[in-house]
Structure 1
C-alpha cells in the first residue's frame, strides 16, 4: 500500500518495515574521546535522536545525541567502535544507511555526516539522565 506524505510529497511504501535495511554508524576517534569525556561517570545509553519537538512538521526535525536512562522497545541497536548507539526504528527514514559521527573542535560540537552530505554539522549532545 502506498500513500503520499503531505508534508513534502514523498511516496512512502508502508510495506517496508523499519529496520529492513542495514545501518552503519562510524564514530571517529575525536568523537569517541569527546563522548568518553561527556559520559564519564554516568550510566546510560547513547541514542541518536531525530528530534521534532517544536519543529511543526516531522520532516523539519534535527538529529542530536542523547544520553538516556533506558531504551524503548521501538529502538534499534547499532553496534559501533564506540559502543552501542540506539535509534528509533520509526525515525530511520530520516537517516542515511551509512553515517559518521565526528567532533569539530572549531565548532565545539558533534557532526553527523554521510558520504553525500552533512546531516547535522552542529549536532548537540544532551544529557537526559535524571
Structure 2
C-alpha cells in the first residue's frame, strides 16, 4: 500500500496537530454502519498504536492503517484537503473513497 499526503493536506494537518505527540491514522469506521462492509475511512490523530496497526511511510507524516482493513482500500491512496469544503479527502487513482473525511484528535 502506498499513501501520499498533498502539500496542502500536510500543512493543515501540521497546523491542527501542533506540538501534540502521536500518530496519524486512517481508521475504517464501521460503528453505526450496519456491518463491516459498510464502513467509511476517517482520519484520526491517536496517542498509541493499536494491535492491528501497521505503519505506512508517506515520505512526510507516517500513517497508521489497520492491517485487517487494508482489503477495503486501493493500492495507491492520497490524503488531500479541499479548500472549498474545508475537509480532508481520501482518494485513489480510480475513485474518491471519502470526499468529506473527518479528522479527530483523540
TM above 0.5, yes or no, is yes
* Structure 2 match to 1:7: none
* Structure 2 match to 1:85: 63
Choose 1 or 2 for highest CA Rg. 1
1:102 aligns with 2:76: no
What is the TM-score when the length of structure 1 is the normalising length? Answer: 0.79
- Offset at 1:72? 1.7
- Offset at 1:81? 2.6
Task: Name the CA distance, whole Å, in 2 between partners of 1:29 and 1:83.
Answer: 11
**What is the aligned-residue RMSD (CA, Å)?**
0.8
1:38 aligns with 2:24: no
The size of the alignment, in residue pairs, is 106
Describe the SS at the equivalent of 1:80: coil
What runs of 5+ residues in structure 1 fail to find an aligned partner? 1-22
**What pairs with 1:18-57 in structure 2 (closer than 5 Å)?**
23-57=1-35
Task: Name the CA distance, whole Å, in 2 between partners of 1:68 and 1:123.
Answer: 16
Task: Please point out which of 77, 83, 102 is paired with 1:124.
Answer: 102
Task: Name the CA distance, whole Å, in 1 between partners of 2:77 and 2:91.
Answer: 5
Question: Higher relative contact order by CA 8 Å / sep ≥ 6: 1 or 2?
Answer: 2
What runs of 5+ residues in structure 2 fail to find an aligned partner? none
What is the TM-score when the length of structure 2 is the normalising length? Answer: 0.96
